[in-house]
Amino acid sequence: MVPVTYYVALSALLFTIGALGVLIRRNPLVIFMSIELMLNAANLAFVAFARLYQNLSGQIFVFFVMTVSAAEVAVGLALIVAIFRTKHSINIDEMNSLKG
Amino acid sequence: MTGDLLIFFILALAAVTTALGMLFSRSAVYSAIFLVLNFGTVAVFYILLNAPFIAMSQITVYAGAIMVLFVFVIMLLGTEQLPPSKALPWQRPLAFILAVVLGVEAVYLLFFRKVTSGLIPQPVESFGSPQEVGTVLFSQYLLPFEITSILLLIAMVGAIVLTKKEKGEQ
Amino acid sequence: MTFFYLAPWIVIFPVAGLLINLIAGQRFNEKVIGIVASAASGLAFLVSVLLAYSLVGHPDAVRWTIGEWIHAGTLQIDWTFRVDTLSTTMMLVVSGVGTLIHIYAIGYMHEDVRIKSDPSRFSRFFIFLNLFIAAMLILVSGDSYLMLFVGWEGVGLCSFLLIGFWYELDTLGRPSWANSDAAKKAFVVNRIGDFGFLIAAFLIFWGFGSLQFDAVFDQVQTISAINSPLIVAITLFMLLGVAGKSAQIPLYVWLPDAMAGPTPVSALIHAATMVTAGVYLIARSAVLYSAAPAAQFIVAMVGALTALFAATIAVGQYDIKKVLAYSTISQLGFMVAGVGMGAFAAGLFHLVTHAFFKALLFLSAGSVILGMERGHHHLAQHSARDERKPKAVPSSAHGAHIDESLHSQAQEIFDPADMRNMGGLRKTMPITFWVYMVGTLALAGIFPFAGFWSKDEILAAAFSKGYTAVYWLLTIAAFFTAFYMGRQIWMVFFGEPHHEAAAKAEESPRVITVPLMILAALSILGGALNLPKALVGEGLAEKLSVWLEHTISIQPGEFIGSVALISTGLALLAILLSWTLYGRQPLKAGEPDPLKKLLGPVFTGMERKWFVDEGYKALFVDPFVNIARISADVIDGRFLHDWFHEKVLLGGYNFICNILLDRYADQRGIDAFFNSIAQWTKDASASLRRLQNGFVRSYALAVLIGVIAIFGYLLIK
**DSSP-H helix ranges across C429-542:** 430-444, 450-465, 468-493, 500-503, 510-525, 533-540
Q: Measured between CA atoms, how close is C691 to chain B, in angstroms?
A: 12
Residues in chain B: 170
Every domain of chain A and the residues it spans: 4-88
- The reply to whether residue B95 touches residue C704, judged by beta carbons under 8 angstroms, is yes
pLDDT top residue among C600 and C261: C261
DSSP code of residue C261: S
What integer pLDDT is reported at residue A25 of this predicted model? 87
- The reply to whether residue B137 touches residue A63, judged by beta carbons under 8 angstroms, is yes
The pLDDT tens digits for A13-38 are 999 999 999 998 888 899 999 999 99
Counting residues of chain C whose pLDDT is more than 90, the rounded percentage is 34
What integer pLDDT is reported at residue C544 of this predicted model? 78
The pLDDT tens digits for C50-67 are 998 888 887 788 888 888
- The reply to whether residue B98 touches residue C695, judged by beta carbons under 8 angstroms, is no
B1 contact A CB<8A: no
A95 contact C CB<8A: yes
What is the Cα–Cα distance from C367 to C360, expressed in whole angstroms? 10
Domain count, chain C: 2
Query: Interface pTM (ipTM) of the complex?
Result: 0.91
Longest CA–CA span in chain A (Å) reads 54
What is the Cα–Cα distance from C691 to C148, expressed in whole angstroms? 102
What integer pLDDT is reported at residue B38 of this predicted model? 96
- The reply to whether residue C694 touches residue A97, judged by beta carbons under 8 angstroms, is yes
CA C630, distance to chain mean position in Å, is 30
The pLDDT tens digits for C602-646 are 888 888 888 888 888 888 888 888 888 888 887 777 777 777 777
Nearest-Cα residue of chain A relative to residue B5: A2
Which range is least confidently modeled, A79-88, B137-146, B159-168, C570-579? B159-168
Q: What is the CA radius of gyration of chain A?
A: 17
A90 contact C CB<8A: no
Average pLDDT, chain B: 87
C687 contact A CB<8A: no
What is the Cα–Cα distance from C70 to B118, expressed in whole angstroms? 123
Residues C587 and C490 occupy one common structural domain: yes
What integer pLDDT is reported at residue C537 of this predicted model? 64
- The reply to whether residue A70 touches residue B66, judged by beta carbons under 8 angstroms, is yes
Q: How many CB pairs under 8 A join A and B?
A: 225
CA B135, distance to chain mean position in Å, is 25
Q: Which of C28, C117, C414, C90 is nearest to C280 (CA)?
A: C90
Question: Helices (H) and strands (E) in chain A — how many of each?
Answer: 3, 0
Interval C301-307 mean pLDDT = 94
- The reply to whether residue B144 touches residue A32, judged by beta carbons under 8 angstroms, is no
- The reply to whether residue C695 touches residue B88, judged by beta carbons under 8 angstroms, is yes
C385 contact A CB<8A: no
CA C315, distance to chain mean position in Å, is 23
DSSP element (H, E) containing C64: strand C62-72
Work out the pLDDT band at C388, boundaries 50, 70, 90: low
Which range is least confidently modeled, B25-39, B121-135, C27-41, C220-234? B121-135
CA C95, distance to chain mean position in Å, is 19
Contact call for residues C329 and C466 (beta carbons, < 8 A): no
- Which chains have 3 or more CB–CB distances shorter than 8 Å to chain A? B, C
Residues C499 and C627 occupy one common structural domain: no
What integer pLDDT is reported at residue B144 of this predicted model? 94
Chain B residues closer than 8 Å to A43 by CB = 42, 54, 58
Q: Residue C350 contacts by C-beta under 8 Å, 6 or more apart in sequence?
A: C331, C334, C335, C338, C451, C454, C455, C457, C458
What integer pLDDT is reported at residue C447 of this predicted model? 81
What is the Cα–Cα distance from C407 to C273, expressed in whole angstroms? 41
Please give the residue range of the domain that contains residue C316. Answer: 292-607
Average pLDDT, chain A: 90
Residues C433 and C327 occupy one common structural domain: yes
Every domain of chain B and the residues it spans: 1-79
Work out the pLDDT band at B118, boundaries 50, 70, 90: low
Average pLDDT, chain C: 85
- The reply to whether residue C697 touches residue A97, judged by beta carbons under 8 angstroms, is no
In a domain, C388, yes or no: yes
With 80 as the cut, is the pLDDT of residue B136 above it? yes
User: Per-residue DSSP letters for C479-497?
Assistant: HHHHHHHHHHHHHHHSS--
> What is the signed CA dihedral for B105, B109, B111, B112, rounded to 10 degrees?
100
Residues C344 and C397 occupy one common structural domain: yes
Interval C536-545 mean pLDDT = 68
Cα of first residue to Cα of last residue in chain B, in angstroms, is 64
Chain C residues closer than 8 Å to A93 by CB = 695, 697
Which range is least confidently modeled, A55-64, B43-52, C553-562, C668-677? C553-562
Q: Measured between CA atoms, how close is C659 to chain A, in angstroms?
A: 42
- The reply to whether residue A23 touches residue C700, judged by beta carbons under 8 angstroms, is yes
User: Per-residue DSSP letters for C386-405?
Assistant: H--S-------S--SSS-HH
A68 contact B CB<8A: yes
Scan residues 67-126 of B and list those with Cβ closer than 8 Å to A.
Answer: 69-70, 73-74, 76-78, 80, 82, 85-88, 91-92, 95-96, 98-99, 102-103, 106-107, 110-111, 116-121, 123
Facing B105 at nearest CB: one of C695, C698, C712:
C712
What integer pLDDT is reported at residue C604 of this predicted model? 80
Domain covering B1-79, topology:
Four Helix Bundle (Hemerythrin (Met), subunit A) (1.20.120)
Interval B59-66 mean pLDDT = 93
DSSP element (H, E) containing C72: strand C62-72
B146 contact C CB<8A: no
Q: Measured between CA atoms, how close is B143 to chain A, in angstroms?
A: 12
CA angle A64, A66, A71 (to 5 degrees): 95
Which amino acid, B44?
A: V
Residues C389 and C486 occupy one common structural domain: yes
Q: Please give the C-alpha separations between residue C208 and each of B123, C221, C234, in angstroms, as whole numbers.
A: 138, 11, 11
Contact call for residues C550 and C85 (beta carbons, < 8 A): yes
Residues C578 and C597 occupy one common structural domain: yes
Interval A54-60 mean pLDDT = 90
What integer pLDDT is reported at residue C115 of this predicted model? 83
User: Per-residue DSSP letters for C406-428?
Assistant: HHTS------TTBGGG---HHHH
Cα of first residue to Cα of last residue in chain A, in angstroms, is 53
Q: What is the CA radius of gyration of chain C?
A: 37
pLDDT top residue among B88 and C656: C656
- The reply to whether residue B88 touches residue C693, judged by beta carbons under 8 angstroms, is yes
Q: Measured between CA atoms, how close is B65 to chain C, in angstroms?
A: 27
- The reply to whether residue B98 touches residue C697, judged by beta carbons under 8 angstroms, is no
The pLDDT tens digits for C438-455 are 999 999 988 888 888 888
With 80 as the cut, is the pLDDT of residue C586 above it? no
Select the residue from B23, B111, B127 to test the A interface by mutation, using most A Cβ atoms within 10 A.
Answer: B23
The pLDDT tens digits for C453-498 are 888 889 988 888 888 899 999 999 999 999 999 988 988 888 778 7
Q: Residue C421 contacts by C-beta under 8 Å, 6 or more apart in sequence?
A: C372, C414, C415, C498, C499, C501, C502, C589
Nearest-Cα residue of chain C relative to residue A31: C697
With 70 as the cut, is the pLDDT of residue C557 above it? no
- The reply to whether residue A99 touches residue C693, judged by beta carbons under 8 angstroms, is yes
In a domain, C39, yes or no: no
What integer pLDDT is reported at residue C271 of this predicted model? 78
Cα of first residue to Cα of last residue in chain C, in angstroms, is 133
Q: Is the dihedral of CA C12, C17, C22, C23 positive or negative?
A: positive
Which range is least confidently modeled, B27-41, C113-127, C148-162, C650-664? C650-664
Select the residue from C691, C699, C703, C704 to test the B interface by mutation, using most B Cβ atoms within 10 A.
Answer: C704
Q: Measured between CA atoms, how close is C658 to chain B, in angstroms?
A: 51
Chain B residues closer than 8 Å to C711 by CB = 102, 105
- The reply to whether residue A54 touches residue B133, judged by beta carbons under 8 angstroms, is no
Contact call for residues C540 and C463 (beta carbons, < 8 A): no
Chain B residues closer than 8 Å to C701 by CB = 91, 94-95, 98
CA angle C102, C39, C349 (to 5 degrees): 60
What is the Cα–Cα distance from C374 to C376, expressed in whole angstroms? 5
Q: Say if residue B101 is exposed, middle or buried (CB neighbours under 10 Å; 0-12, 13-18, 19+).
A: middle
Facing A75 at nearest CB: one of B35, B86, B159:
B159
What is the Cα–Cα distance from C207 to C679, expressed in whole angstroms? 84
Work out the pLDDT band at C43, boundaries 50, 70, 90: very high
Select the residue from B105, B107, B108 to test the C interface by mutation, using most C Cβ atoms within 10 A.
Answer: B105
Counting residues of chain C whose pLDDT is more than 70, the rounded percentage is 93
- The reply to whether residue C715 touches residue B98, judged by beta carbons under 8 angstroms, is no
Cis peptide before C448 (omega within 30 of 0): yes
User: Per-residue DSSP letters for C276-337?
Assistant: GHHHHHHHHTHHHHHT-HHHHHHHHHHHHHHHHHHHHHHHT--BHHHHHHHHHHHHHHHHHH
- Which chains have 3 or more CB–CB distances shorter than 8 Å to chain C? A, B
What is the Cα–Cα distance from C100 to C360, expressed in whole angstroms? 10
- The reply to whether residue C715 touches residue B101, judged by beta carbons under 8 angstroms, is no
For domain A4-88, which CATH number applies: 1.10.287.3510, 3.30.470.20, 3.40.640.10, 3.40.50.300? 1.10.287.3510
Scan residues 66-105 of B and list those with Cβ closer than 8 Å to C.
Answer: 87-88, 91, 94-95, 98-99, 101-102, 105
pLDDT top residue among B162 and C395: B162
Scan residues 1-60 of A and list those with Cβ closer than 8 Å to C.
Answer: 19, 22-24, 26, 31
What integer pLDDT is reported at residue C141 of this predicted model? 93
Of B73-82, C315-324, C423-432, where does the model show the most confidence?
Answer: C315-324
Chain B residues closer than 8 Å to A72 by CB = 155
pLDDT top residue among B128 and C189: C189
Q: Which of B4, B103, B2, B87 is nearest to B45 (CA)?
A: B4
- The reply to whether residue B102 touches residue C715, judged by beta carbons under 8 angstroms, is no
With 60 as the cut, is the pLDDT of residue C246 above it? yes
What is the Cα–Cα distance from C195 to C236, expressed in whole angstroms? 12
Q: Measured between CA atoms, how close is C674 to chain A, in angstroms?
A: 26
- The reply to whether residue C694 touches residue A99, judged by beta carbons under 8 angstroms, is yes
With 90 as the cut, is the pLDDT of residue B109 above it? no
Q: If DSSP codes are grouped into helix, strand and coil, which group holds residue C246?
A: coil
Q: What is the pTM of this model?
A: 0.65
Contact call for residues C309 and C249 (beta carbons, < 8 A): yes
In a domain, C491, yes or no: yes
Interval C515-542 mean pLDDT = 77
Q: Which of B113, B45, B11 is nearest to A5 (CA)?
A: B113
A87 contact B CB<8A: no
Residues C526 and C663 occupy one common structural domain: no
Q: How many CB pairs under 8 A join B and C?
A: 28
